[in-house]
Amino acid sequence: MLPSSRGMQTKPGPKRLRQSRFTVFQGSKLKVPRSKFHMAHEHGELESLVGVHSFAQIPTRGRKWWKHWGQLVETFCAASEARENRLTSKSQSRIAYELDEIKEVRRSKSTETRAALELMECVNTALSAPHDENSFWSGVSESEYEASTGKAFVYVRRDRAIGIVTVECLNLSAKRGRWMLTNGCTLVPNVCPVVKLGISRIWVCQTARGQGIAAKLLEAARKFTLPDQKIAKWEMAWSQPSESGLKLATKYNSVRHEKSGQMLIPCYI
């Protein structure tokens, strides 16, 4: 005798999955497939978030810098650190050599100039420096120094600009050079050294400091800002150096006063 249908328990079938959709804003939507999950996001907001994330990385990792940006002036061989093998969890003592590059920012190329200006925005914020002193190297009219000339050089490693220096070509007749005592940061009165280049900004991202990158940038600026002239180190002057900048200046191009024995660095006003 067959059992009645009432006493039988029907085995539930497989649960039917539903496609989820996460909507943040109204407007045109961008679908990003991932594990059958679609996230809708407004185009403008997505680009804004990506831009904020990229800008937040500049202080620690520098800025993305494409290979075709900038005029190559120097290369350096750098050894990369050993990396851990994630598959075997064993450390591999493999040393890979790669080329670091110093490139001159070409003011005639608007894309790379904008990228350098974005980098300088972060630099000026970190140094608590004015944000309107880029016209002498970028060609962008921002201040009274529109007639000045200068250059910007970036230090590139693994497609990221991790350091930058901007340098002014000074008018010799203006007599802007001064000597500053490293002890006390006071200017020596009535002495005007003839300086040819003014170091406006120099900066290296946090993860690349202590590797001599700032000194390499200074040397590149000294040799390639005015390539037809031979510039001495003391002919490169500093503009209101920060505490770390003062240490760099003392190490790079300070001179000792013969009579007093005090250390002096060239500055410009």
Give residue-wise pLDDT tens across range 150-159.
999 999 999 9
pTM value > 0.85: no
Rounded (5°) CA angle 51-53-56? 110
What pLDDT is stored for residue 184 in this prediction? Answer: 87
- Mean of all residue pLDDT scores within the chain: 81
What pLDDT is stored for residue 91 in this prediction? Answer: 52
Query: Which residue type does 139 have?
Result: G
pLDDT in tens, 70-88: 999 999 987 654 444 444 4
Question: Helix, strand or coil for residue 240?
Answer: coil
pLDDT in tens, 182-241: 998 899 999 999 999 999 999 999 999 999 999 999 999 999 999 999 999 999 999 988
How is residue 187 written in tokens? Answer: 């200017």
What pLDDT is stored for residue 269 in this prediction? Answer: 92
Cα–Cα distance between 222 and 225 in angstroms, integer? 6
Q: Do residues 167 and 199 lie in contact, with contact meaning Cβ atoms separated by under 8 Å?
A: yes
pLDDT in tens, 22-37: 454 455 455 545 444 4
